[in-house]
């Protein structure tokens, strides 16, 4: 395949995993009895940040707050479209305080932040995809939030129902490759949602359960480079066949909390 994929420079927001831990269980991946290697997590996270910068992307940092072990998962804090920020109202009470430091960061940068009235977990379930926003529901973000997002951004929102608790957020089951295409794991979705995705994206890259369970779909693409879990080997091969360049980054320590590359990455679309 010709080398025709074009990368676009992105601006990402991240949060250092200084206080990362698994202290409670709010998804099937989390086991408080399984220790987290914080030093390893910090090294893995720094490698991700360095890799983004090595590819020309801008990386901004939110200061981590004590007592918020999941604050490292920056994607859940908001969704930003054309410089407008739609914040989060987390489903789990343990995570609700995370929205405060993120909102403060955006305000300090000059953004206005919309406070959701309904449970909504940022880019975890709200995935801007060219002409529309793909929106997950079923475990966290509510359908009422989908309507709220559409009213705020004035962008069509396409609701998709997640049915497998291992894929509790949309960004664990689907990611955007470029303005025209996505990769996803069909069995994470209800039958009707699978039909919607098949109609919208007839040429989508379809992942196996093995690659999805390896957090291969919790990836970040700049249109050419796909920052992906090294465990998702079959998916990476498919992407390479399509002309994308897989860039493996190991965030295995974060998988103990049900997170990966995308979970740690908020894209600021100005």
User: Is residue 263 among the annotated active site residues?
Assistant: yes
Task: Identify the active-site residue in 15, 57, 91, 263.
Answer: 263
The DSSP-derived string for the chain is --S-------EEEEE--TT----S-SSTT--TTS---HHHHHHHHHHHHHHHHHTT-EEEEEPP-TT-TTTT-GGGGEEEETTEEEE-B-SSGGGGGGHHHHHHHHHHTT--EEPPSS-B-GGGTEEEETTEEEEEESSSS-HHHHHHHHHHH-S-EEEEEB--GGG-SGGGTEEE-SSS-EEE-GGGB-HHHHHHHHHH-TTPEEPPHHHHHTTTTS-EE-SSEEEE-TT-HHHHHHHHHTT-EEEE---GGGGGGT--TTTT-EE---
Task: Identify the active-site residue in 15, 169, 225, 264.
Answer: 169
Known catalytic residues are 169, 263
């Amino acid at each position: 395949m010709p080398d025709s994929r074009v990368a676009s420079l992105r601006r990402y927001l991240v949060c250092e995993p200084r206080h990362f831990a698994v202290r409670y269980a709010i998804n099937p991946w989390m086991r408080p009895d399984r220790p987290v290697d914080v030093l390893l997590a910090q090294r893995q996270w720094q490698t991700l940040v360095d890799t983004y910068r090595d590819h020309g992307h801008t990386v901004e940092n939110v200061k981590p707050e004590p007592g918020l072990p999941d604050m490292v998962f920056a994607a859940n804090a908001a969704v930003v479209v054309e410089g407008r920020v739609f914040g989060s109202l987390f489903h789990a009470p343990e995570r609700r305080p995370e929205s405060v430091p993120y909102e403060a960061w955006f305000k300090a940068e000059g953004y206005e932040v919309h406070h959701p009235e309904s449970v909504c977990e940022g880019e975890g379930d709200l995935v801007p995809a060219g002409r529309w926003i793909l929106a997950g529901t079923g475990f966290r973000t509510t359908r009422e939030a989908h309507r709220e997002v559409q009213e705020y951004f004035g962008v069509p929102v396409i609701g998709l129902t997640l049915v497998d608790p291992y894929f509790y957020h949309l960004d664990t089951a689907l990611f955007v490759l470029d303005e025209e295409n996505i990769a996803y794991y069909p069995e994470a979705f209800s039958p009707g949602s699978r039909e919607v995705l098949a109609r919208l994206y007839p040429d989508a890259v379809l992942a196996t359960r093995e690659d999805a369970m390896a957090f291969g779909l919790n990836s970040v693409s700049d249109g050419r480079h796909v920052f992906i879990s090294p465990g998702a080997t079959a998916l990476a091969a498919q992407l390479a066949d399509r002309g994308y360049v897989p860039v493996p980054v190991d965030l295995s320590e974060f998988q103990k909390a049900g997170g990966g590359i995308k979970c740690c990455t908020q894209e600021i679309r100005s």
